[in-house]
Structures are given as structure tokens and as C-alpha cells.
Amino acid sequence: MVVRKASGSREDLKKFKEEIVHQFHVISEDVISQVKQVAEGVENVDEKLDRKFDELKAEIDNKTQPIAQAVIVLNGKVAVLDNKVNTLDSKVNVLDSKIDKIHLELKAEIHETRQEILAAVKFSYAELDKRITTLEKEFLELKHRVERIELRSIS
């Protein structure tokens, strides 16, 4: 009886093992099938992402190309303006130096003219003083003469 139990047990174990292996195969086939489906879904999503990426890249390129061209044109215009500003700056510097030179010349001429006018005023003042002094003397002489004549005519 013990032998029968053991052999019955072995057969049960064998059947149990086969059943487990069978279940494992069923489950693994199902898992493999599901993994394949997931892989196909990932591949589809990857393809969609690639297409979207290409579309977005093309759209960005289409929109940025005019901007890039405008930047190139603006860079050219800025370079031209820089040249003009540099030219104007050098011309302003030349004008500044000319104005400084004219300012110094005018200042010197004004100083010279002032000195001449002061000398002329001093000379005129001296001349006028001399004339006034002479006129005062002559006036006094005439006054004395008039007084003498009046004295003679009264007497």
C-alpha cells in the first residue's frame, strides 16, 4: 500500500508538473503576446513622434528662415549705420577742432581789439583832458578879458 501511494503520488506529481508547465506555457504565450502588442504600440508611437518631429522641424524651419534672412539684412544695415556713425563721429571731431581753433582765434582777436580800444580810450581821455584843460585856460583868459573890458567901459 505504501508503494501504491508513492507511485500514485508520482503520477499525481507528474500530472501536476505537466499541468504547471502547460499553464506556464499558456501564461508565457499570453505575456509574450501582450509584450508584442506593447512593442507594436511603442513602435507606432515612435513612428508618430518621428513624423510629428519632422513636421515641427519643417514648420520651424519655414518660420525661422524669413527671420534669419531679416537678421542678415538687419546686420548689413547695422554695419552701414555703424560706418555712417563712425564717419559722422570723425566729422564731428574735425568740426570740434575747427570750432576750438576759431574760438581761440576769436578770443585772441577780441583780446587784441579790447587792448586797442582801451588804448584808444586812454588816448582819447588824455586828449579830451588836454583839450578841456586848454579850454578852461582859454575860458579863464576870456573871462579876465571880458572883466577888463567891462571895467574899462564902466570907467
Q: Is the pLDDT of residue 3 over 50?
A: no
Q: Is the pLDDT of residue 125 over 70?
A: yes
Looking at every residue in the chain, the average pLDDT score rounds to 90
Long-range contacts of 146-150 (CB under 8 A, 24+ apart): none
* DSSP code string of 8-34: HHHHHHHHHHHHHHHHHHHHHHHHHHH
Share of the chain above pLDDT 90, in %: 72
Q: What is the pLDDT of residue 150?
A: 86
Q: Is the pLDDT of residue 1 over 70?
A: no
CA-based torsion, 93, 98, 99, 100: positive or negative = positive
CA distance 19 to 8: 16
CA distance 105 to 112: 10
Q: Is the pLDDT of residue 17 over 50?
A: yes
Per-residue DSSP letter, 1: -
Q: Is the pLDDT of residue 155 over 80?
A: no
Closest CA to 24 of 13, 16, 12, 36: 16
Q: What is the pLDDT of residue 2?
A: 43
pLDDT in tens, 40-58: 999 999 999 999 999 999 9
